[in-house]
Amino acid sequence: MTLQHFKEVDANKNTDSSIIIRCPFDSCNTRIIMLSDKLLSNKLNIQNSPDMVQISDNTDSKANEFFKINDVWDFDNIGVSRPSDDIKQPIIEENNKVLNIKIERLLICSECDKGPIGFAGLEEDDTDVKNLKYFLSCNSVLYDIK
């Protein structure tokens, strides 16, 4: 298993091979989700995001990059925290439009319960948890290059 940080992954070069996103903690490394073209096309730069686990000294702009996942069932393994009202709200731009996401929960590894590695929230005034959108921090996970 060759684990790399996000800034080391050349997604364009590796789209033909499988890249598995894994939990960043040494004692775990559980498979979280497969890196796909669809996932790469849903990468967003999010300002004012909650603090996430950072697995490298990353001071570049990629620290605010997140993968947007619309369905929890796209994950292989993911856990969520209890609902919380005291999490700062992010500024998310997608397709030149600002999304108003109210963060409901933080994402954690379902195996080791460590994190946060992302967050989940609802758009606008939606209150149906079935409509949660998930945002996985690109720099809070490791990439297993096959």
Domains belonging to the chain, first-starting first, are 2-55+64-145 (2.170.150)
Residue 139 has, within 13 A of its CA and on its CB side, a CA count of 20
pLDDT of residue 35: 94
What tens-digit pLDDT sequence spans the chain (146 residues)? 889 988 888 765 555 568 999 999 989 999 999 999 999 999 999 988 888 998 865 555 557 899 999 999 999 999 999 887 777 778 788 888 888 888 999 999 999 999 999 999 998 889 998 999 999 999 999 999 88
H or E element at residue 14: helix 11-14
pLDDT of residue 66: 95
pLDDT of residue 123: 87
pLDDT of residue 54: 82
Q: Quick one: which of 31, 30, 40, 32 has its CA closest to 9?
A: 40
| Encoded amino acid at 43, one letter | K
pLDDT of residue 17: 62
Q: Quick one: which of 141, 146, 145 has its CA closest to 32?
A: 141
CB-based burial of residue 127 (10 Å sphere; 0-12 exposed, 13-18 middle, 19+ buried)? exposed
